[in-house]
Chain A
């Protein structure tokens, strides 16, 4: 754990790096932008905004894809300033102990390689501190086990080593296993897990697809040719509900993610049922039902497939798009009772209905598609602003709203399990596709470069059978 290298050597290495550093940057600049790209070191990085994290590069260990996936997960998680080390030379200098064969041999000889923590002692903490890093993540292999070692730079030691037996690259479970490893690294560093092991369901051309949060592994999941809408995750991430047009009605279906097996919700088929939403205990499915009387909210117990219950009686107004608070006590929804659709809230049994997101009568446009954040503090929705839609967030406690987007048309926000990222539909690039925004930093990235994707639903954290040991 402690640095065994003589202080003199450290000083020499640091000096060597500093001398090489400017030339490294110059070469990079002369070369192409590929090396220089993404470099945020020292003055570019604003210390204190986000902790800096450096991914330790290693060559020849066959974990390049793992390292690349994890690095991207950490970047997309927006919790770290991910520091990319430029140029191979400076890296070797920076992590001198990993390169020379002599060091490696000595480490093996000491018998600590099996624990995966041996290289800890050789890490040059002052150097990384100088680079603005608070954490360093080292991914290595020990036999068939992949070890992610998180170094705490300031404390000059290992915070935690996470081990996982990863499937082979190419295995359908490989990427998710790597994502879970990344999430554990985030957990080790910050005490809260990342959102790497999550997926997003969306609708395109009337079919439901899934895609990993990093844009990989897009896959068709709806199992019929009928037109589908409004996918919604079950809280365990193992199944989802969606609506399907069938013989002039709207049917609600439940489908298992793993098997694709689907079953119709028992009371469906008599009317136009749509916008299903699960309670967080998985017991209750709330949905909208359009009949001759208009559209109203209902719930059904999906565990026992019973107990249809009507929550609203709109008569001359419509009530739709329910979303449960995480504690299951309340439900936000859309109501047209003020003339235009606006965001309302009620107790989960349908009592105590009241306006939720404030609006100026005659001024504020239609508000739709609410989704309650997993931490319970916010409700995201979209609102018509000057003829186009923008994403808003309602603060549940203060009941104030703030507008998140302003470029193009932005709609149907859905929360990541960390309650700080939202996926939404935007045409800011010229056509409608899915984007992800980080509410803390304002950073926005496209999720997939495909036209026509809509109605996204972000999964909870997806766990598999535990494949890691503490």
Chain B
């Protein structure tokens, strides 16, 4: 298309030149430039150049749009994939030592990743549920589970998350994750769980 329009433009100019040169055949005089025709030729030349340029620009724009659309589709799929990952990172539980509510150093990384997600998704609100194993006193475990949920909340708040975005609750030992009466089960049951209250659609990674 581009070459065709170029040829067309060249041909047009050639015709104009030929017509001008063949004007006075018997007496080859100095050609008197016809101001009108020269201007017309110049106009025509410019027009064809403009048309060609506009055409080229349209082509480029269409191409850009196509690429952009493709990219957008790709990134949406990627976003959905990463949203699942983000959700899993957000829900990752943290665990506690027996009768303790302090955040263990090996869980700080998990909480830091939650901080990043909460910062990247300002609409996101979560609930932290504190849980205990069956060894402690049933009723005291409600207070201990509360401490465990508060510990995680305080960690997130101290890393810049607005406290109003985090609710807490305690289940004591009433909702064990694992049934069992050994240290393996107990250590899994001493935990904080994290769930999304709202703003959990299409979570961004960061």
Contacts and interface: CB of A to CB of B under 8 A. Distances in A.
A294 B149 CA distance: 10
B138 A229 contact: yes
A274 B140 contact: no
A320 B135 CA distance: 18
A288 interface: yes
B147 A274 contact: no
Contacts of B140: 320-321, 334, 341, 366, 368-369
A250 interface: yes
Contacts of A369: 137-140
A371 to B, nearest CB: 12
- Interface size classification for chain A: 20 to 34
A288 B167 contact: no
Contacts of B153: 292
Interface in B123-170: 127, 129, 135-140, 142-144, 146-147, 150, 153, 167-170
A357 to B, nearest CB: 14
Given A227-B174, A294-B147, A249 B169 contact: yes
B137 A290 contact: no
Contacts of B99: 340, 366
A410 to B, nearest CB: 12
B137 A366 contact: yes
A318 B143 contact: yes
A292 B127 CA distance: 13
- Interface size classification for chain B: 20 to 34
Taking each of A227, A274, A291, which has the highest tally of chain B beta carbons within 10 Å of its own beta carbon? A274
Nearest to B130: A290
Nearest to B140: A368
Contacts of B146: 272, 290-291, 294-295, 318
Nearest to B139: A275
A274 B142 contact: yes
A461 interface: no
A248 B167 contact: yes
Contacts of A275: 139, 142
B139 A368 contact: yes
Interface in A238-262: 245, 248-250
Contacts of B150: 292, 294
B139 A229 contact: yes
Main secondary structure, interface of B, reads mixed
A179 interface: no
A417 interface: no
Given A411-B137, A412-B138, A320 B143 contact: yes
A121 interface: no
Contacts of B147: 294, 318
A455 B169 contact: no
Nearest to A455: B138
A334 B136 CA distance: 14
Contacts of B168: 292
Nearest to B150: A292
Taking each of B142, B143, B172, which has the highest tally of chain A beta carbons within 10 Å of its own beta carbon? B143
Contacts of A291: 146
B176 to A, nearest CB: 13
A52 B150 CA distance: 59
B95 to A, nearest CB: 20
A209 to B, nearest CB: 16
A73 B179 CA distance: 39
A368 B138 CA distance: 9
A382 interface: yes
Given A206-B174, A288-B142, A290-B142, 18 more contacts: A227-B174, A230-B139, A245-B174, A249-B169, A272-B169, A272-B170, A274-B142, A275-B142, A294-B150, A318-B144, A318-B147, A321-B139, A321-B140, A368-B139, A368-B140, A387-B135, A411-B138, A455-B139
Q: What 8 A-B pairs have minimum CB-CB distances, sorted nearest first?
A: A368-B137, A290-B146, A248-B169, A295-B143, A318-B143, A368-B140, A274-B142, A320-B143
20 contacts: A245-B171, A250-B142, A272-B169, A272-B170, A274-B142, A275-B139, A290-B142, A291-B146, A294-B143, A294-B147, A318-B144, A320-B143, A321-B140, A336-B143, A340-B99, A369-B137, A369-B139, A382-B137, A389-B137, A455-B138
